[in-house]
């Protein structure tokens, strides 16, 4: 199985991604880093522990839970989004709120996880603050990681937080820029493809009837209601974070293009956190080209559908 270290702000689609990972034999989750974002870091910690109790097995017991970042690198206070993810990050569900439950601040344990696991992939499905911190502190070590998959950005399509910006990059544009500067073998999974990775109410009902986990339906119904109210023409909820995790084990599911990309560092305004890919065939005098990364532009929905349904309905 592919070893994965997951960084996430464990709200609704992050939780479904975590459940998908635990149910999938092709994925071996070696650690989960709890970050602020959709909800507070403490709520993320509580949700990770709650999901583990639902899927309790020898495998989930061995997953290291890491206390990640509680606020962005910009120096601002964190801003949460309870209107999308619910007060505790799980829609209508109130998980046991024993936030720390024996966990102490242990960010340095990421170092051991990376040292001990060959061929490790890192998948980041929330704000990039913790991952950027790792690059600033442990540059050499981070080059040992086989590859990075980051959910974030919107390229020539509407944003989901401002007209042009996506939430994970908007929430901490400084961290996003740090990661883009230092990461090698990085794949960006933007809204261009994640908004196509739709779970329809029919799919959710099927998973509810045949799958082993009964919180998937209440989570995704809540999520769908929010999206539907905002945009009545949508047919289901976008599984941004599930798609990003899936990309790490299904190399053909997405089609990528390698382009120079940078993140707008404005403190405020529409363009804060905007992801810009440069498709000019030239540079102007004195201009430094930003690093090139693989950006996903096309999704094979049929493959997404088959894989998601197979894994989630057991």
Written as six digits, the tokens of 194 are: 């994640």
- Say which entry of Ca ion, ligand BDR, none residue 160 contacts (CB below 5 to 8 A, set by partner kind): ligand BDR
Residue 52 CB, shortest distance to ligand BDR, in Å, is 19
Judge whether 127 and 11 are in contact, CB under 8 Å: no
Binding mask 8-37 for Ca ion (x = CB under 5 A): -x----x-----------------------
How many residues in total does the chain contain?
314
Residue 115 CB, shortest distance to ligand BDR, in Å, is 28
Number of residues that bind Ca ion (CB under 5 A): 5
Q: Is 247 helix (H, G, I), strand (E, B) or coil?
A: helix
- Residues forming a β-bridge with 121: 4, 147
Among 45, 46, 125, 311, contact with ligand BDR (rule: CB under 6 A)? 125
Query: For 51, phi and psi rounded to 5 degrees?
Result: -60, -35
- Residues forming a β-bridge with 67: 34
Number of residues that bind ligand BDR (CB under 6 A): 13
Residue placing its CB nearer to ligand BDR in the complex, 16 or 203: 16
**Diameter of the chain measured on Cα atoms:** 61
The string of DSSP letters for 21-81 reads HHH-TTEEEEEEEE-SSSS-HHHHHHHHHHHHHHT-SHHHHTPEEEE--SS-TTSPPP---
- Say which entry of Ca ion, ligand BDR, none residue 24 contacts (CB below 5 to 8 A, set by partner kind): none
User: What span, in angstroms and rounded, lies between the C-alpha atoms of 189 and 114?
Assistant: 22
- Say which entry of Ca ion, ligand BDR, none residue 167 contacts (CB below 5 to 8 A, set by partner kind): ligand BDR
Residue placing its CB nearer to ligand BDR in the complex, 125 or 131: 125
Residue 12 CB, shortest distance to ligand BDR, in Å, is 7
Judge whether 27 and 249 are in contact, CB under 8 Å: yes
Binding mask 228-247 for Ca ion (x = CB under 5 A): -------------x------
* Site for ligand BDR, residues 133 to 192, rule: CB under 6 A: 151, 160, 166-168
* Site for ligand BDR, residues 28 to 47, rule: CB under 6 A: 38
Residue 283 CB, shortest distance to ligand BDR, in Å, is 30
Judge whether 157 and 145 are in contact, CB under 8 Å: no
Among 35, 195, 208, 241, contact with ligand BDR (rule: CB under 6 A)? 241
Q: Which of 213, 193, 301 is nearest to 257 (CA)?
A: 193
User: What span, in angstroms and rounded, lies between the C-alpha atoms of 22 and 57?
Assistant: 9
* Site for Ca ion, residues 112 to 141, rule: CB under 5 A: 125-126
Residue 118 CB, shortest distance to Ca ion, in Å, is 27
CA 85 from chain center: how many Å?
14
CA 108 from chain center: how many Å?
21
Asked if 24 is part of the footprint of ligand BDR (rule: CB under 6 A), the reply reads no
Q: Is 178 helix (H, G, I), strand (E, B) or coil?
A: helix
Residue placing its CB nearer to ligand BDR in the complex, 125 or 175: 125
Q: Which of 258, 254, 274, 278 is nearest to 266 (CA)?
A: 274
Residue 287 CB, shortest distance to Ca ion, in Å, is 33
Interacting stretch for ligand BDR, rule CB under 6 A, among 6-14, 134-142, 206-214, 279-287? 6-14
Rule CB under 6 A: which residues touch ligand BDR? Answer: 11, 13-14, 38, 125-126, 151, 160, 166-168, 240-241
**Contact footprint for Ca ion (CB under 5 A):** 9, 14, 125-126, 241
């Amino acid at each position: 199985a592919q070893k994965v270290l997951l960084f996430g702000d464990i709200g609704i689609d992050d939780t479904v991604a975590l459940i998908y990972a635990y149910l999938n034999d092709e994925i071996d989750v070696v650690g989960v880093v709890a970050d602020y974002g959709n909800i507070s870091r403490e709520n993320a910690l509580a949700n990770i522990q709650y999901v583990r109790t639902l899927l309790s097995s020898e495998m989930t017991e061995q997953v290291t839970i890491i206390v990640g970042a509680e606020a962005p690198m910009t120096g601002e206070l964190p801003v949460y989004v309870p209107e999308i993810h619910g007060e505790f990050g799980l829609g209508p569900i109130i998980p046991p709120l024993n936030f720390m439950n024996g966990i102490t601040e242990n960010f340095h344990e990421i170092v051991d996880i990376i040292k001990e696991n060959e061929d490790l992939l890192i998948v980041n499905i929330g704000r990039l603050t913790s991952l950027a911190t790792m690059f600033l502190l442990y540059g050499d070590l981070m080059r040992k990681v086989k590859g990075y998959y980051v959910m974030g950005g919107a390229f020539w399509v509407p944003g989901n937080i401002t007209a042009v910006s996506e939430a994970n990059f908007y929430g901490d544009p400084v961290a996003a820029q740090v990661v883009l500067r230092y990461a090698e073998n990085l794949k960006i999974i933007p809204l261009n493809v994640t908004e196509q990775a739709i779970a329809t109410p029919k799919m959710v009902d099927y998973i509810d009837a045949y799958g082993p986990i009964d919180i998937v339906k209440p989570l995704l119904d809540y999520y769908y209601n929010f999206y539907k109210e905002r945009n009545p023409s949508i047919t289901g909820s976008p599984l941004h974070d599930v798609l990003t995790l899936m990309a790490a084990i299904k190399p053909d599911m997405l089609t990528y293009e390698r382009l120079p990309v940078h993140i707008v560092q404005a403190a405020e305004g529409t363009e804060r956190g905007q992801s810009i890919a440069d498709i000019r065939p030239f540079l102007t005098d004195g201009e430094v080209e930003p690093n090139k990364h693989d950006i996903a532009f096309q999704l094979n929905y049929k493959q997404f559908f088959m894989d998601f349904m197979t894994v989630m309905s057991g």
